[in-house]
Chains A and B, each alone.
Chain A
Amino acid sequence: MTAIEAQGAKRDTRNTGPGRLLIAVYAVFALSATARAGYQIATKFSEAPLAHILSAFAALVYVVATVSLAKPGRTWFRVSLAAVLVELVGVLVVGAVSLFDPVAFPHDTVWSLFGRGYGFVPLVLPVLGLLWLNRRRPAKAAAP
């Protein structure tokens, strides 16, 4: 790898500075959401299949976001962007539905009540993610 390529590669990563804090927080959520979904599906899936499938989906989104943010390159940038957008829509929609229709929607996913059970971090995280992705957007001039 030449020096210029190395410099380009360095610019084309989200895994640096504040991005590393973001990835660490995403990793904690990926871990806790996966463990929680696994636990729910293993022990009480039949009680509320929809909520538990949603838990598993949220866990998957956090895993994809964590991995893609840690990887360099434009493809991973797009994966990150998609994951963070899905996360934002997820927390807003699930948060709103769980607020307006608490009976039909048991409060038992990461995103319920806008992530109140997790100190609203699930609501703040995608916003910070989008800000970070915007700041580290791959340069257009670098297109092959």
Chain B
Amino acid sequence: MDGYFYAVLAVGLISTIICVVAGIMKKAPNDITIFSVLAVEAVLLVYLIGSIVRVALGEHMAGEAWEFWGYLATALMIPPAAVYWSILERTRWSNFVLGAVGVTALVMAARMNQIWY
């Protein structure tokens, strides 16, 4: 597990906790919960750029390259999709949808780390 994984782990867990607590408090998605999900997207973008740099510098991943990039591309689509889905119907349940993003991202980051090393 590398720094990218721990960054996704930290930001993902914080985002999930914020969104789930907001959902339990019967709040609709607001700036805080949406920004916490966008923070997950930002960390994933850093992961993407960092990984491109590492490959460009000649580093080789242990697993299948296209599997790694497939995971990363999919993970990058999840936060925007969840934000879109949550603002179509602004109820407390949409915060639970947003809360699922952080956990999903960290599971995918764990898998991406397994593929890389």
B-binding residues in A (CB < 8 A): 16-21, 24-25, 28, 31, 35, 39, 43
Contact = CB atoms under 8 A, between A and B. Distances in A.
A25 B97 CA distance: 8
A107 to B, nearest CB: 16
A31 B93 CA distance: 21
Contacts of B94: 20-21
Contact of A20 (B70, B78, B89): B89
Contact of B85 (A17, A20, A31): A20
B111 to A, nearest CB: 10
Given A16-B89, A17-B91, A18-B93, A24 B70 contact: no
B67 interface: yes
A20 B104 contact: no
Interface residues of B, number: 15
Given A18-B96, A28-B104, 11 more contacts: A16-B91, A17-B89, A20-B89, A20-B91, A20-B94, A24-B85, A24-B100, A28-B100, A35-B70, A35-B74, A39-B70
12 contacts: A16-B89, A17-B89, A17-B91, A17-B93, A20-B85, A20-B89, A21-B93, A21-B94, A24-B85, A25-B100, A28-B100, A35-B70
A19 B91 CA distance: 11
B48 interface: no
Contacts of A17: 89, 91, 93
B74 A24 contact: no
Contacts of B91: 16-17, 20
B97 A20 contact: yes
A20 to B, nearest CB: 6
B65 to A, nearest CB: 13
B96 A21 contact: yes
A18 B94 CA distance: 8
